[in-house]
């Protein structure tokens, strides 16, 4: 619950910058699996200055801030989150531009928007990320990858640090691994610069189409999911999906949440699943796989 003084100050900041702020705001439609409760506060800042001012006030007041991207890797509990959720969905955080082979993009830009820009401007490399329904910020946070990793072409990342300072960090100063980046958890990713290759637009588009068709043949991209629920193993010999399939769990369900028949590492919200259904199914899958293969599956998705 927000006290009157905090409410007043939050409204004051957002009206000063003419931004959007909503209280007790449902997060369901802000996630790709479409489950979950409300956030104490939803904020769409219009500028870095506003983001800095609002975050400083909220944290000073003891309200934790969570930055959401496209919600394609986060599971929100049914009871909601007692936090302020910040979305960089304003156009000022979504710009994409280039100079020669250097591309600069705002953290709120969707990867699909960046891929379109690249293919129209003869810039190659980014098409390897096709089919990942992420924002640039969310993809960098976990080093999302498909045909390539988001870090492969990265040059630098602009961050709003916890202390309010804005810093540009070179790739060499960030560790990237499988679904991992060492970018400070308290920092907001604001923008990034990439060094890309050059190719003809038609060639880039064709490659993107090919990669997407391949992904779509294996994964239920058309359904409400969070992508792969569990991480794969570092030995690369077997995948989590393979073990879940061999444990006979395709189609296993709790409420309206079920294990995809197309790809066993995907949990689908058929229509009206809630977060509890998804969490129960995750537990069930984990237990069955451990019973059968003596292996503990680690979640890739983030349960808030
Ligand atoms: C159909 C489908 C297919 C998928 N395929 C793939 C795939 O091939 N490869 C892959 O790696 N993943 C895949 N995913 C998973 C998901 O898209 C990635 O994990 C992605 O990186 C999440 O990005 P997001 O913008 O949705 O972030 P969110 O899910 O909203 O957030 C993820 C994390 O990033 C943080 N974050 C978001 N924005 C910022 C920011 N600006 N600054 C700081 N932190 C931030 C959040 O706080 C959170 O901790 C898939 C998901 C779906 C639904």
Give the tens place of pLDDT for each residue, 60-99: 999 999 999 999 999 999 999 999 999 999 999 999 999 9
State in Å: Cα 138 to ligand 1 middle.
4
Please tell me the pTM assigned to this model. 0.97
Give the tens place of pLDDT for each residue, 240-256: 999 999 999 999 999 99
Q: Tell me, what's the pLDDT at 160?
A: 98
Q: What integer is the mean pLDDT of 179-188?
A: 96
* Binding-site residues, ligand 1, Cβ < 6 A: 32, 66-74, 88, 107, 132-135, 137-139, 141-142, 144-146, 188-189, 221, 225-227, 302
Query: Which domains are assigned to the chain?
Result: 4-90 (3.30.43.10), 94-217 (3.30.465.10), 240-303 (3.90.78.10)
**Nearest CA-CA partner of 92 in 143, 49, 31, 144:** 49
State in Å: Cα 73 to ligand 1 middle.
5
Q: Tell me, what's the pLDDT at 236?
A: 74
> Taking all residues of the chain, what is their mean pLDDT, rounded to a whole number?
97
Residue having the nearest C-alpha atom to atom 6 of ligand 1: 132
Q: Tell me, what's the pLDDT at 186?
A: 94
The atom number, within ligand 1, closest to the CA of 70 reads 26
pLDDT category of residue 42 using cuts at 50, 70 and 90: very high
Whether the predicted pLDDT of 237 surpasses 90: no
The atom number, within ligand 1, closest to the CA of 215 reads 8
């Amino acid at each position: 619950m927000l006290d009157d003084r905090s409410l007043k100050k939050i409204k004051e900041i957002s009206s000063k910058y003419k931004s959007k702020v909503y209280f007790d705001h449902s997060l369901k439609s802000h996630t790709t699996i479409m489950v979950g409760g409300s956030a104490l506060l939803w904020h769409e800042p219009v500028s870095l200055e506003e983001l800095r001012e609002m975050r400083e006030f909220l944290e000073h007041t003891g309200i934790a801030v969570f930055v959401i991207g496209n919600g394609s890797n986060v599971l929100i509990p049914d009871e909601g989150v007692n936090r302020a959720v910040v979305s960089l969905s304003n156009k000022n955080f979504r710009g994409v531009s280039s100079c020669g082979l250097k591309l600069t993009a705002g953290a709120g830009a969707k990867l699909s928007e960046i891929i379109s820009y690249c293919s129209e401007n003869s810039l190659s490399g980014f098409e390897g990320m096709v089919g990942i329904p992420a924002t640039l910020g969310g993809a960098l946070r976990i080093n999302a990858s498909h045909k390539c990793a988001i870090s492969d072409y990265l040059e630098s990342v602009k961050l709003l640090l916890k202390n309010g300072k804005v810093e540009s960090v070179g790739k060499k100063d960030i560790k990237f691994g499988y679904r991992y980046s060492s970018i400070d958890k308290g920092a907001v990713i604001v923008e990034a610069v990439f060094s890309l290759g050059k190719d003809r637009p038609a060639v880039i588009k064709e490659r993107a189409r090919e990669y997407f068709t391949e992904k779509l043949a294996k994964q239920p991209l058309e359904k409400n999911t969070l992508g792969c629920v569990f991480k794969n193993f570092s030995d690369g010999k077997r995948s989590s999906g393979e073990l879940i399939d061999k444990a006979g769990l395709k189609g296993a369900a709790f409420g309206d949440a079920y294990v995809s028949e197309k790809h066993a590492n995907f949990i689908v919200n058929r229509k009206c699943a809630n977060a509890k259904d998804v969490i129960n199914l995750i537990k069930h899958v984990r237990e069955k796989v451990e019973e059968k293969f003596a292996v503990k599956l680690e979640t890739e998705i983030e349960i808030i």
